[in-house]
Structure 1
Amino acid sequence: MNAPIPQSLTASPAWRALNVHAAEMMPTRIMDLFERDAERHRRFVCEDVGFYLDYSKQRVNGQTMSLLQSLARQQGLDQWRNRLFSGEHVNNTENRAALHMALRAPRVADFRDDGRRVGDEIHQVRQRMRAFAERVREGDWRGATGKRITDVVNIGIGGSDLGPRLLCTALAPQIDGPRPHFVANVDGAELHAVLARLRPETTLFVVVSKTFATQETLANALHARAWLISSLDIDAVSKHFVAVSTNREAVEAFGIAADHMFGFWDWVGGRYSLWGAVGLIAMLALGPQRFDDLLRGAHALDTHFRRAPLEHNLPVLMGLLAIWNNNFMGCASHVLAPYAQRLSLFGGWAQQLEMESNGKGVTRDGFAVDYRTTPVLWGHVGTNAQHAYFQMLHQGPAVHSVDFILPVFADHPFRDMHRKLVANCLAQASALMRGKTADEVRAELQSKGMEGDALQAAIPHRVFPGDRPSNTLLLPRVDAFHLGALLALYEHRTFVESVLWGINAFDQWGVEFGKQLANRILDDQQAVALDPSTDELMRKVQFHAR
């Protein structure tokens, strides 16, 4: 039987139409689009769930958006969205659903896995989390010596670390429970630094690992356990360790009672898991009510994504624009620029979300793609970023698309500083789009008295090409509700991209290969043979470690 011939996305009608249109749009300056359409700044916007998305600074017009929506319909985005929410096995390589939305939905919501309602079991786990968090926060759960828990350490990596760490950083002013700390790296320096500022008798550890066998997490957990036992005793483990896992046998062997294990499900990938038991440290630090507010915000965005038409749908629009910039406008990467210090970890969280989800070179059916999938995502908070890499964004030869994320209201009393922050954010987006011509530079320098050869020599260095595309996303403030909605927005944006590229956003086979080779080295560092370079490096390390 002959193998099926894959249908090429790049040969499809919608893709080809976009290619033709992109060639027409490429010479067009974004500022010219504003001159042609006096209402552009009101038409190329979308508002819901407290967000205001302005995408008028993109190199798009009405025809662009219509063609992108045609691509979405050709790729069955409406149908895939329904499949996602109905619990179909959209993660086809692992034969699983992707029901992270169920973790933040009301109990009565009808989310099903293989026809079985999951709301009751989700809320049973949530109630156990809530009861435990309240006991710790109120001082009813105490350590082995009878002292209150003052600090809690999350030991996990990847999705078991990035999401909870982001939550506790972003919502730090609202922390009124135990102080949160995080350990992820197998480099023992991180664990050592955290333990150095803690007291065993007042510290609680949350070990987060689905299998309870993740190499980095287990190494950190075992050393933390030894640290505790060296000051207290073996019996103290049960009063200072809890687990977020599905491996009851391994958890109990570690010394954690099954009653102190909080479970989750195969239909939740690690990078989508902060909404359930993986978020336990956030509930401990922030309290159950703020954790509920986080879930409400995410659920509100879920509802918007599920119900809003494509042309007025925040995640859809952001996904379509990402495809346009990456696949048709030739943008080299995508930059995240949150103008909020408390979102300093947003970029790291989004990197895992997007690049682990969509960093694929084959379609769902296993055929090699002939187009780019996810771009590199990177960035940092403004205004710090302006004094780092914005020089490249403004004047480098490569064009990078940018998401500016700006809270309208400050959560501190320094209003003059917030005005400066807002001014910088809006000015950077405008400057990237507008640019500065040689004539403008000449006039500016002449007004300062420069002339002759010095003037001519200075001009090329002060010209800005402009036409650097960006979105500006306004949110009211960085509170639990809007943070939940923001994270859900980027989750669904990632899913939209995956549908348009025809790839599976919910597996991560690329993560496993390096782990396998690392285990081979660990199993037998003397006899391992991977490749000549790696083998020689291993010999050098062993020689210097003697």
Structure 2
Amino acid sequence: MALVSGAGLTLDVSYQNTPINTLTETVTLPEQFDQTRQLLLKGEYLNVSEGRHVTHILSRSIHAVSSAKNRDTRFAKMVNKLRSGRWLGATGKPITAVVNIGVGGSDLGPNMGSFALKEFADDAALNELDVHFVSSMDGGQLYAVLPIIDPETTLFIIASKSFGTIDTFANVDTVREWIKPQLTEQQWLQDHVIGVSSNAVKMNDYGIPPAHQLTFGEGVGGRFSLWSAIGLPIALSCGLRTFERMLSGARAMDEHFGSAPAAENIPLLMAMYGIYNRQHLGINNLAILPYDGRLRMLPNYLQQLDMESNGKQATADNQAINYATGPIIWGGFGPNGQHAFFQHLHQGYDEFAADFVLVLKRQAPGFNAQVANKLADQQQLSVANCLAHRQLMKFGSDNPESPRDHYPGGHPSSLLFMDELTPETFGELIAAYEHKVFVQGVYWQLNSFDQPGVELGKKCAVDILQALQSGAKTSYDESTVTMIKKARGDE
């Protein structure tokens, strides 16, 4: 059995295909890795393609909003004013709902954290806000949210690092029309909008009062930003103290990552086993399987964190590479997945690796003892299923008389578990995966902190949008031209 513990988490790699001592000899990190790791932890690691330091780790201390020295920050004041019911809209009614409009890192992290930590909300006597999330450019989420909120009692967070993301402002433009029967645009901007961005100039130009702006550094990448002002919805859902507890958990993982020996270092081992499975076993995908409903958004979050960081074919100094890098990240909430895609995992032909994420115990604040006991029983049911499916994926089961009952097994997996989910262990979990991605990027010689493929896709989309709206002739391929004509109603 191979268990490694640190900062509130335990990693079981017993079901991987090589022992830790062999792994550390097989996967050799660059000679300067220790120095590189310390640069990251100090906020001095250079994102070479964008010419700035990577500073998201510093956010874990800069935004320690509930500590004595920071309780008067603008972030904290906003949270306290909204959660106490003292933030009044333009017509004098208290704000009771908040809608976060953002996409990518401005949505996935805040959404996941708000949902996972809701039961730990502090200051229970304060005003409970209904916090909603809107990210889809097609307006589908906005279509569902607008009928259940009131312009006079709703505040909108416009979250965009650049403050120019077209997906986000497509939703914002629709909201600006929606509020007009009850509010003027000036009333809406003055009393119903908070801007969160690294671009204060654009927030000013948009008309958001400086007092209602939150900024974060250019060195905080979107997919690493839930610790920064982008995490405002988490603090609004759960309170300042809970937000700070999450940050403190992340700081504990930073310390563990920075000091623990390789054979005892959770993020390092996660990264090295991922490298081993990708390059030595040829497994091109990793299933993320959380067995706690509060972590059901984790696979989507990690998909962006990992694939946007390390899905690349060029080194940090822009040299072409001819080896595999980051795997395809996919997965889903384990108990639901058992009734969906686990059939393929157990008896399909494809190779995969898996991370099982498990919470052993659960408290049930707010319920009587009888209900709390039943909820504890359900947690045990989840634990049992996690361990059973993990075991079967590794060891399989054979019935020579019935091919239908043959389970090939042989699939490597890690089990990352905690005694209980708390704001601290949640922060530790997310920080561990951040560091894992960083280590793998260093090993593969990538810049894990840019996303040039995403940027080109955005530019192409803008060009096609102009063709759709203007009716101008286009020089795209036949299929794209046909679809543009159909969308315009020309055919």
Q: Which has the higher helix share?
A: 1
State the partner residue of 1:435.
396
State the partner residue of 2:324.
372
Retained in 2: the 8 A contact 1:294–1:480? Answer: yes
1:115-174 deviations in whole A, cap 9, x for unaligned?
xxxx9xxx8798210011101111221111211111100001100010000011111223
User: Which residue identity is paired with 1:167?
Assistant: G
Q: Distance in 2 between matches of 1:477 and 1:462?
A: 35
Retained in 2: the 8 A contact 1:125–1:263? Answer: no
SS at match of 2:131: strand
How far apart are residue 77 of structure 1 and its match?
Answer: 2.2
State the partner residue of 1:54.
12
Q: Distance in 2 between matches of 1:90 and 1:247?
A: 20
Q: Distance in 2 between matches of 1:522 and 1:482?
A: 44
User: Which residue identity is paired with 1:428?
Assistant: H
SS at match of 1:229: coil
Partner residue of 2:423 out of 471, 480, 485 = 480
1:444-463 equivalences under 5 Å are 456=401, 459-463=402-406
Partner residue of 1:192 out of 143, 148, 159 = 143
How far apart are residue 193 of structure 1 and its match?
Answer: 0.9
1:481-518 deviations in whole A, cap 9, x for unaligned?
11111110100000011111111100011111111111
1:41-64 deviations in whole A, cap 9, x for unaligned?
1xx220011111110111103552
Distance 1:404 1:246, change over 3 A: closer
State the partner residue of 1:27.
none
1:394-416 deviations in whole A, cap 9, x for unaligned?
12222211111111112442222
State the partner residue of 2:387.
426
Q: Distance in 2 between matches of 1:107 and 1:265?
A: 12
Q: Distance in 2 between matches of 1:315 and 1:126?
A: 34
1:504-519 equivalences under 5 Å are 504-519=447-462
1:417 maps onto 2:417 in alignment: no
State the partner residue of 1:541.
487
Q: Distance in 1 between matches of 2:234 and 2:103?
A: 15
How far apart are residue 89 of structure 1 and its match?
Answer: 4.2
1:212 maps onto 2:168 in alignment: no
SS at match of 2:451: coil
Distance 1:291 1:126, change over 3 A: farther
1:183 maps onto 2:134 in alignment: yes
State the partner residue of 1:351.
303
What is the number of residues matched between the two proteins? Answer: 470
Retained in 1: the 8 A contact 2:360–2:418? Answer: yes
Paired-residue identity, %: 38
1:216-255 equivalences under 5 Å are 216-237=167-188, 238-255=190-207
State the partner residue of 2:57.
101
SS at match of 1:52: strand
How far apart are residue 344 of structure 1 and its match?
Answer: 1.0
1:424-473 deviations in whole A, cap 9, x for unaligned?
00111111111113xxx25xxxxxxxxxxxxx4xx222111111111111
SS at match of 1:334: strand
Distance 1:310 1:362, change over 3 A: same
Retained in 2: the 8 A contact 1:75–1:499? Answer: no
Partner residue of 1:173 out of 97, 113, 119 = 119
User: Which residue identity is paired with 2:488?
Assistant: Q
Distance 1:76 1:248, change over 3 A: closer
1:11-65 deviations in whole A, cap 9, x for unaligned?
xxxxxxxxxxxxxxxxxxxxxxxxxxxxxx1xx2200111111101111035522
Structure 1: unaligned runs, 5 residues or longer: 1-40, 109-118, 443-455
1:138-157 equivalences under 5 Å are 138-157=84-103
Retained in 2: the 8 A contact 1:394–1:464? Answer: yes
User: Which residue identity is paired with 1:214?
Assistant: T
Distance 1:432 1:524, change over 3 A: closer
Retained in 2: the 8 A contact 1:164–1:278? Answer: yes
Structure 2: unaligned runs, 5 residues or longer: 365-371
Distance 1:182 1:267, change over 3 A: same
Q: Distance in 1 between matches of 2:309 and 2:72?
A: 26
State the partner residue of 1:381.
333
State the partner residue of 1:79.
35
RMSD, aligned α-carbons: 2.0
1:464 maps onto 2:407 in alignment: yes
Retained in 2: the 8 A contact 1:206–1:243? Answer: yes
Q: Distance in 1 between matches of 2:219 and 2:291?
A: 34
1:6-17 equivalences under 5 Å are none
Greater CA radius of gyration, 1 or 2? 1
Q: Distance in 1 between matches of 2:404 and 2:182?
A: 62
User: Which residue identity is paired with 2:483?
Assistant: L
